[in-house]
Copies of this chain bind each other. A is one copy, B any other.
Amino acid sequence: MDSKPKRVMAKKKVNIKDVAAKAGVHPSTVSRVLNPDTASMVSRPVAERVTSIASEMGYKRSPMASGLRTGRSYTVGVLIPDLTNPIFPPIVRGIERSLGERGYIAILADSDNNKKDEHAILDSMKSRHVDGLILATAHRKDLAVNTCIDEQIPLVLVNRSIDSHAVTEVINDDEKGISLAIEHLLELGHRSIAYLGGPPDTSTGRDRHQAFKKIMRAHGLEPDPELIVNCAAFTEPEGHLGFLSLLKKHRHFSAVVAANDLLALGCFDALQESELRCPQDISVTGFNDTPFMDRLSPPLTTVQIPLDEMGAKAAQLLLNLIRDPQIDSETIKLKPKLVVRGSTAKPRT
């Protein structure tokens, strides 16, 4: 009600020139001191005086205003395929923490496993002048990624990679992860092991599938194509459908390696529906060790990857690229480890 008079009476906003005058420095020095990217260019005593005067006077640097001069928006677009997949909140938290330390903020969008048009989302982010993008949505051949490369938008892929290694990416060592799961099952005595994979047009879908076949062969076991099903998405319902189709083939197997935790949960559902028990009848392994997997019934044996670190690392690499677009692209592979829980046991004899 009374907010309009308040606005009229509001005292004049302190600007950068006021702070500079009081500190006895040039406004550009104030700008440098208050920008984390350039603060180190100013001597410590001056920086401390300016910071303290700016704080006293209630002056806050506006990233948007300085963006008008530097051409930067201090905003990074983050595109993820499915916010309700529990792999992503920890990744996003790592990204936001890293960005926040440098005065950047994230614009987050969820493509709902491609149901929304990723191109439209990217266009929308570009029209908001993001300084760079972090994509967790990449497909192996990805037009959106190609567009960003063509338009020279700084870009980092997280969790998934593209076929051509032209982009900086922070991913898992998928082969190592799958080998940990298989070797654990072999040690328990399993020999007939099924594989429930993800979409082959994603690097995680393709790489984990290839790794499964390679590691089985390395242990002298020829993978049975009838025991391999790739699902259309990394979700519980797709895992449920995929594993039901495996069970309906009535081929013998005593364990299944699922390509992520949600697919493994789909296996739990299909097993329950088929009146089979885990791990007594069939052992199940997951991938990612997302939150709560230790609390399930049975607790899920799964490949653990450092999700928060993956996000933080992706953000750091992107900020480096924004500062220096000429940096060569690189691929960072994070090391997974196996967490053994109650969903795996010796096969019945």
Contact = CB atoms under 8 A, between A and B. Distances in A.
B296 A7 contact: no
Give the one of A63, A73, A84 with max B CB within 10 A.
A84
Nearest to A66: B127
B124 A105 contact: yes
Interface stretch (A23-31, A49-57, A90-98, A209-217): A90-98
Interface in A263-304: 265, 268, 291-292, 295-299
A64 B296 contact: no
Contact of A109 (B84, B86, B105, B299): B105
A44 interface: no
A83 B93 contact: yes
Contact of A100 (B93, B116, B268): B116
Contacts of A73: 128
A295 B265 contact: yes
Number of copies: 2
A268 B295 contact: yes
A63 B93 contact: no
A224 B331 CA distance: 59
A128 B75 contact: yes
A129 to B, nearest CB: 7
Contacts of A149: 3
B108 A107 contact: yes
Nearest to A88: B89
Contacts of A296: 292, 295-297
A226 interface: no
A22 interface: no
A19 B183 CA distance: 62
A123 interface: yes
A110 interface: yes
Contacts of A299: 297
Contacts of A297: 295-299
- Which of A100, A106, A121, A292 has the most C-beta atoms of chain B within 10 angstroms of its own C-beta? A292
A55 to B, nearest CB: 12
Contacts of A84: 89-90, 93, 291
Contacts of A14: none
